């Protein structure tokens, strides 16, 4: 299929490079590609200019080059429309709402969300002989050391943090050999870097980036993206052909605080947010350049995506006035059940396997990473892992995905659910389910209790068919209930959710 222009997508980036496995019992071993996964933060579906040429006013030449060199997906999704839940699903192949976190996100001092017994994609690849690294924003919780042995105090400035202590149950306890980054979003204290399981310095100062809290004296928000760029490139440059590697690179941008470096100020036509998107694109380009100069570049998979739609903090309406549509043709943005909240850019480059300038319209989720890695390596996933993950490897070869899922499940900031099967999408919410008007508390009293859309004819989700197509709505609801009840959405032995009851209807009258 020749590439065509599609609306913007979110940032995630994977890289695979060749290294030969030692054969077992004389069988021909599969190649073990290097994997670099770059995830941008709060960048909308319409913000890759090659995929939204008419209504994207921010140049993204590095990501555009990936589009021209590989395959882009027009129907890829994050599991949630906010940060923490999406990251959980990417790394575990499991829906986020199966955990104790039923709504919203974690903070900088939160305990770990990923259970110590749960297999992550980093655990899986490490068992296959990979070096593994996480660089950037973690936002999945960790056990922060304290001076009194108790949990960190309440609020954003707890007084019992031991800045010289050892962090437990962070990235290096979840499959990663190396970590360098920050504990949560850049607008959440503490404002200090973490390397492996230690703070880099001590947060003895106080600073404010949206929220106020402890900071290492030399830590500045504007320096974080350049630091992550440096660490990611250095990590890739250190790798050799002897052992494959997996680098999960979760950028802090263009999430708030919107702090482009001085060299990027004024570069875009839409203001500081556009400048920050351009700087984000530059970081992606630097990482890709490092990959291209590394061994096995031709047999390297690159996936680029983001964690959810654009934030309201970017001043979306003002951007529209300048002709920049952050969600492309989609309704909604970060936090919402509408497509603009969770439909994300997804670009895959693999020169040895994928035809350049191709596209796929098949529906996939970021949580499909784990099953895809397993199929690439011709290896079974461990029992009780990746319960919701399906390999999209066939799509990369232009073939239909062999899915055992009936559909996919969407989740919004306040815990509202939606179910998608084919072109039909059922939303168990009366409004956006998130942050865009009308929010649930502001919906008209006579509005239907749910929404149903035919995305084939109504991608903008404007014509609610819930009352006129009750059979379709009931069928999708039944599939959703089954996927929740079974503890998995793929075929296999039923599993348990981490909570006794997952509440599906959050605002039903």
Tokens of 61: 């030449």
Cα(244)–Cα(132) distance, rounded to whole angstroms?
9
Sign of CA dihedral 79, 84, 87, 93: negative
pTM: predicted TM-score of the whole model, two decimal places? 0.94
| Range 46-65 average pLDDT | 97
What local confidence, expressed as pLDDT, does residue 19 receive?
A: 38
**Torsion angle of alpha carbons 184, 411, 368, 252, nearest 10°?**
-20
The C-alpha atoms of residue 350 and residue 297 are separated, in whole angstroms, by: 9
Tell me what the mean pLDDT of segment 236-260 comes to: 95
pLDDT in tens, 249-292: 999 999 999 999 999 999 999 999 999 999 999 999 999 999 99
**What kind and span of H or E run contains 75?**
strand 71-77
Strands 71-77 and 364-365: parallel
pLDDT category of residue 399 using cuts at 50, 70 and 90: very high
pLDDT class for 422, splitting at 50, 70, 90? very high
443-470 tens-digit pLDDT: 998 999 999 999 999 999 999 999 999 9
Q: Where are the domains of the chain?
A: 35-396, 408-485
> CA gyration radius for the chain?
21
For 315-345, how does the pLDDT look when each residue is reduced to its tens digit (9 = 90+)? 999 999 999 999 999 999 999 999 999 999 9
pLDDT greater than 70 at residue 373: yes
Q: Tell me the CATH architecture of domain 408-485.
A: 2-Layer Sandwich (3.30)
Contacts of 43 (CB under 8 A, 6+ apart): 10, 11, 253, 254, 277, 280, 306, 310, 345
Percentage of residues of the chain with pLDDT beyond 70: 94
Specify the CATH architecture of the domain 35-396.
Answer: 3-Layer(aba) Sandwich (3.40)
pLDDT given at position 30: 58
- Give the 3-state DSSP-derived string for 105-145, with helices as H, strands as E and coil as C: CCCCCCCCCCCCCCCCHHHHHHHCCCEEEEEEECCCCCECC
In this prediction, residue 509 carries a pLDDT of: 61
Decide: helix, strand or coil at residue 48.
coil
Backbone φ, ψ for residue 313 (5° rounding): -65, -15
Question: How far is it, in rounded angstroms, from Cα 209 to Cα 259?
Answer: 10
Mean of the per-residue pLDDT values of the chain: 93
Closest CA to 371 of 354, 347, 387: 387
pLDDT band at 350 (very low <50, low <70, confident <90, very high): confident
DSSP per position, 439-506: PGGGS-TTS-SSEEEETTT-TT--S--TTT-HHHHHHHHHHHHHHHHTT-SSSSS----SSS-----S
Residue bearing tokens 């071993």:
29
pLDDT digits 0-9 by tens, 133-187: 999 999 999 999 999 999 999 999 999 999 999 999 999 999 999 999 999 999 9
**Cα 340 to Cα 425: distance, rounded to the nearest angstrom:** 14
* Weakest mean pLDDT among 15-19, 49-53, 456-460: 15-19
Q: Which residues pair with 35 in a beta bridge?
A: 246, 301
Count of alpha carbons within 13 angstroms of residue 23, beta-carbon side: 4
Tokens of 331: 């309704």
CA distance 282 to 279: 5
Tokens 């955990």 belong to residue = 99
């Amino acid at each position: 299929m020749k590439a065509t222009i599609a609306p913007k997508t979110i940032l995630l980036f994977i890289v695979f490079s060749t290294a030969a496995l030692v054969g077992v019992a004389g069988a021909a071993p599969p190649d073990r590609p290097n994997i670099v996964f770059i995830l941008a933060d709060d960048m909308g579906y319409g913000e890759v200019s090659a995929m939204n040429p008419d209504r994207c006013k921010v140049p993204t030449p590095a990501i555009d080059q990936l589009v021209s060199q590989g395959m882009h997906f027009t129907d890829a999704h994050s599991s949630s429309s906010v940060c923490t839940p999406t990251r959980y699903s990417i790394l575990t192949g499991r829906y986020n709402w199966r955990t104790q976190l039923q709504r919203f996100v974690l903070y900088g001092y939160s305990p770990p969300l990923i259970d110590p017994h749960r297999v992550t994609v980093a655990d899986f690849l490490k068992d296959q002989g990979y070096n593994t690294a996480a660089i950037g924003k973690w936002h999945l919780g960790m056990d922060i050391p304290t001076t009194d042995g108790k949990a960190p105090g309440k609020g954003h400035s707890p007084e019992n943090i031991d800045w010289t202590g050892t962090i437990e149950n962070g990235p290096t306890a979840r499959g990663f050999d190396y970590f360098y980054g920050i504990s949560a979003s850049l607008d959440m204290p503490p404002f200090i870097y973490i390397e492996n399981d230690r703070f880099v310095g001590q947060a003895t100062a106080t600073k404010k980036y949206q929220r106020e809290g402890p900071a290492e004296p030399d830590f500045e928000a504007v320096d974080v993206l350049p630091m992550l760029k440096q660490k990611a490139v250095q990590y890739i440059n250190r790798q050799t052909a002897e052992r494959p590697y997996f680098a999960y690179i979760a950028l802090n941008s263009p999430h708030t605080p919107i702090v482009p470096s001085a060299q990027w100020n004024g570069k875009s036509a839409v203001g500081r947010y556009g400048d920050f998107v351009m700087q984000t694109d530059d970081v992606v380009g630097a990482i890709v350049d490092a990959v291209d100069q590394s061994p096995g570049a031709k047999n390297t998979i690159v996936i680029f995506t983001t964690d959810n739609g654009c934030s309201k903090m970017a001043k979306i309406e003002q951007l529209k006035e300048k002709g920049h549509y952050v969600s492309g043709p989609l309704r909604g943005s970060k936090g919402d059940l509408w497509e603009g909240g969770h439909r994300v850019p997804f670009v895959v480059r693999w020169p040895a396997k994928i035809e350049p300038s191709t596209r796929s319209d098949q529906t996939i989720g970021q949580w499909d990473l784990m099953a895809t890695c397993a199929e690439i390596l011709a290896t079974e996933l461990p029992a009780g892992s990746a319960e919701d993950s399906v390999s999209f490897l066939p799509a990369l070869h232009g073939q239909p995905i062999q899915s055992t899922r009936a559909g996919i499940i969407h989740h919004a900031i306040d815990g509202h659910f939606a179910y998608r099967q084919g072109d039909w999408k059922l939303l168990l919410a009366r409004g956006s389910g998130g942050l865009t008007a009308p929010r649930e508390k502001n919906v008209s009293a006579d509005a239907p209790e749910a929404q149903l859309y035919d995305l084939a004819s109504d991608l903008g989700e404007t014509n609610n068919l819930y009352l006129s197509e009750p059979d379709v709505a009931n069928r999708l609801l039944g599939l959703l209930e089954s996927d929740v009840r079974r503890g998995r959405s793929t075929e296999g032995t039923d599993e348990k959710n981490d909570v006794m009851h997952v509440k599906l209807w959050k605002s039903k009258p």
